[in-house]
Structures are given as structure tokens and as C-alpha cells.
Amino acid sequence: MPEESVADVTSLSFEQARDELVTVVAELEQGSPTLEHSLALWERGEALAARCEEWLLGAKRRLDAARRTDEDDA
């Protein structure tokens, strides 16, 4: 898969990245016609998983900050 298609995950929302990752995993589980296609799917899946993790870590940081603010106000 070309680098630009792996890089374009940065514009995806968490839900978009998660849904596409589910599709990629299902396709990998079914087996690809070629090794090259399997590798491209794997690379895309890695990029999508990293994007999901970015979103989740960002959400955790926001929750932690909100909790600290609530504790400071108490």
C-alpha cells in the first residue's frame, strides 16, 4: 500500500479508523490472493490501530485533566 494511503489515517475520526480496522482484520482473516496484498493490508491495519490508540490516549489525557480540575475545585 502506498505511503500516502497509510499516512492519510491522520484525518480519520476514531470511529472511522476503528470501523476500517475491523474491515481490514476481517479481510486478513479470509486470506488475500497475494502476499503483497496481505502486506499492504497489514500495514494499513497497523496505521489504523495506531490512529485509534492516538484517539484513546488523547481522550484519557482529557479525562485526567478534567478530573484534576474537578479535584482542584473541590
pLDDT at 72: 83
Contacts of 31 (CB under 8 A, 6+ apart): 38
pLDDT category at 16 given cuts 50, 70, 90 is very high
pTM summary value: 0.81
**Tell me: the pLDDT tens digits for 30-73?**
998 899 999 999 999 999 999 999 999 999 999 999 998 878 88
Task: Provide the pLDDT for residue 41.
Answer: 94
Domain residue ranges in the chain: 3-73
Q: What is the signed CA dihedral for 30, 45, 16, 31, rounded to 10 degrees?
A: -10
Return the pLDDT at 33: 86
Query: Do the Cβ atoms of 21 and 14 come closer than 8 Å?
Result: no
